[in-house]
Structure 1
Amino acid sequence: MSYKVILQDKYDLSPLVENINLRDSLEQIAYQGTVNLVVTSDMPPISPGMSIRVSGIPYGKKDYVPLLSPAVIWEVETSNNGLKRMTLTLYDRTVYLDKSEDEYLLPAKQTATQRFQKYARDWKLKIASLPDTKKTLGRAVYRTQSIYSMMLGDLRETAKAGGKLYHPRMISSGLELYELGTNKDVYVLERVTDTTQSRTLEGAATRVKVLATAASESGNEVPSKVMALEEKDIAKYGTLQVIVQDDEVKSGAAARELAKSKLRGIQQTISVNAPDMNTIRAGDAVMLGSIKLLVISVSRELGNPGSMSLELGTYDDVKRRFYLE
């Protein structure tokens, strides 16, 4: 097996490994792994909280690179049906941002980059790369919720303001804020074993109405003021109306931009099974034929050769699904 599993930076568990599965998705922050081991008498004690890393040789290369590192063992399960086995559930260290809650009151005119610097500092995460997201955000009142949900709030507000799309990742050098689709090596999916395409009107919006925050006059309820109304493809798909209320929208121009961003027609996803290219991550761009798509999720079984299942979408579909809701 052209993979290494190293415990606590000193124990090589690779000879005991039966299989390794990894999963990465735009729907979660932490890269997740499952490692199945054969238990031997000389094996070191293994318990949740220990550090671990998984490395492998990328497609077409000769040297090992970190795949899931730095990671933490989250769960240990043992079984014995004549041969004792152990299953380890691993996550990269951004799992602490997903599992930890806090409250933050954040001032206006900060960028997502500035807020991520604070989150990382407070949770003692080393920073690898935090590019300038440029768009200033409104005041945020984050009551008790996970740190990751706050991050999502910042990234979605950035996208709604016309900024680029980002996803937080943990790499071996620390936390990075990754701009979707900017991977240097864009793999062409050539040896695809099967492809499934899904197209649906579920979640479509052909009319979007942006309302001002409702107010009352002399104790009487009054209708909310309509700040913008945008329509598209009603003749084609019918009327599917969405109502949006956003306290941060102060002008008619901003309301119209927000309404336009919420218009969406048929949503499409493509599922692909193919030989594994083990460095592909969620958010990366890949080529399927002549079409450039983003990876929404990837589930892989490491091996030589391994296999992977990808969920793919266009840039616009990813933006609507994950950043404009």
Structure 2
Amino acid sequence: MSYKVILQDKYDLSPLVEAINLRDSLEQVAYQGTVNLIVTPDMPAISPGMSIRISGIPYGKKDYVPLLNPAVVWEVESSNNGNKKMALTIYDRTIYLDKSEDEYLFPAKQTATQRFKKYAADWNLKIAKLPDTGKELGRSVYRTQSIYASMFADLRETAKAGGKLYHPRMVSSGLELYELGTNKDVYILEYVTDTTQSRTLEGAATKVKVLATTASEFGQEIPSKVMAITEKDIDKYGQLQAIIQDDEVKSNAAAKELAKSKLRGISQTISLNAPDINTIRAGDAVMLGGMKLLVISVSRELGSPGNMSLELGTYDDVKRRFYLE
């Protein structure tokens, strides 16, 4: 197996490895791994909290690169059915952002970039790459919730204001705010199997109204103010109207952008299996049959060759599903 598993920067567990499985998804922040080991008498004691890393040789290359690093042992499960075995559940260190809670009060006119600097400083995370997200956000009050929930609220508001789509990632040099679909190497998926394509009008919207937050006048309820209306493809799909009432929308211009982005015809997702390309991550762009799609999730079994299962969607579908709901 052309992979290395190193514990505490000094113990090479690679000869003891039976299997390695990795999972990455836009629905979670931390890259997750499972490592199955054979237990030997000279094996070091392993406990949750220890540092660990996985490296591998990328598709078409010759040298090892970090795949899951820096990571932490989160769970250890031992078994003995005549042969002693151990299963490690590991995560990259963004798991601490998902499992830790705090409260934040942010003033208006900050960007997600500025707020990420605050999060990283509070949790002693090195910053690897933090692009300027460019969109000023409204005042935000985040009561007790996970740090990642606060982070993603900032990224959703950025998208609703017409900004780009971002996802936090932990890489070897620190925390990265990754812009979806900007990977340098866009792989063409060939030799795919078990392909399933789902196409539906469920969740479609051909007309969208954005309303201001409901207000009252002299103690009486009054109709909500319409901030924007937009429509598309009514003749093609029929009138399917969506109403948006969102405190994060602060201006008519932002409301118009949000309404346009919520227009939705047929949505589709594609699931498939393929030989593993071990550097593909959730949020990366890939090519399939001439279409450029984003990876929603990837589950892989490392090996020579390994196998990966992908869920793919268009940029617009990913935006609506994860950033605009």
TM range, smaller chain: over 0.9
Structure 1 segment 236-251 matched on structure 2, within 5 A: 236-251=236-251
Q: How far apart, in 1, do the equivalents of 2:274 and 2:247 lie?
A: 45
Give me the whole-angstrom Cα distance separating, in 2, the residues matched to 1:309 and 1:246: 36
Structure 2 Cα separation of the partners of residues 203 and 51 of structure 1:
43
Give the TM-score normalised by structure 2. 0.97
What is the match of residue 43 of structure 1? 43
Deviation track 1:181-225 (CA, whole Å, cap 9, x = no partner) reads: 111111111121231111122222222221111122222222222
- Distance in 2, matches of 1:107 and 1:254, equals 18
Structure 1's 91 and 250: CA in aligned 2 closer, same or farther, altered over 3 A? Answer: closer
Match of 1:319 in 2: 319
2:260 maps to which residue? 260
Matched AA of 1:229:
I
Q: Show the counterpart of 1:11.
A: 11
User: How far apart in 2 are the matches of 1:228 and 1:136?
Assistant: 20
Aligned to 1:118: 118
The unaligned stretches of length 5 or more in structure 2 are none
- Give unpaired runs (5+ residues) of structure 1: none
SS of match in other structure, 2:283: coil
The 8 Å contact of residues 162 and 258 in structure 2, kept in 1 or not, is answered as no
Q: Deviations 1:94-126 (Å, cap 9, x if unpaired)?
A: 000001110000111111111111101100111
Percent identical among aligned pairs is 85
- Letter matched to residue 158 of structure 2: T
Q: For residue 75 of structure 1, report the CA deviation from its aligned partner.
A: 0.5
1:80-99 map, 5 Å? 80-99=80-99
TM-score when normalising by structure 1: 0.97
SS at match of 2:260: helix
Deviation at 1:250, TM superposition (A): 4.4
Amino acid at match of 1:94: T
d(CA) in 2 for partners of 1:132, 1:118:
14
Counterpart for residue 153 of structure 1? 153
Distance 2:85 2:238 in 1: 56
Alignment deviations for residues 64-85 of structure 1 (CA, whole Å, 9 cap, x no partner) = 1110000001111111111111
Does structure 1 residue 270 correspond to structure 2 residue 270? yes
Deviates more, 1:10-19 or 1:246-255: 246-255
Paired residue type of 2:46? I
SS in 1 for 2:152: helix
- Give, in whole Å, the separation in 1 of the partners of 2:77 and 2:247: 48
274-283 vs 153-162, which moves further = 153-162
Aligned mates of 2:231, 2:54 — CA distance in 1: 49
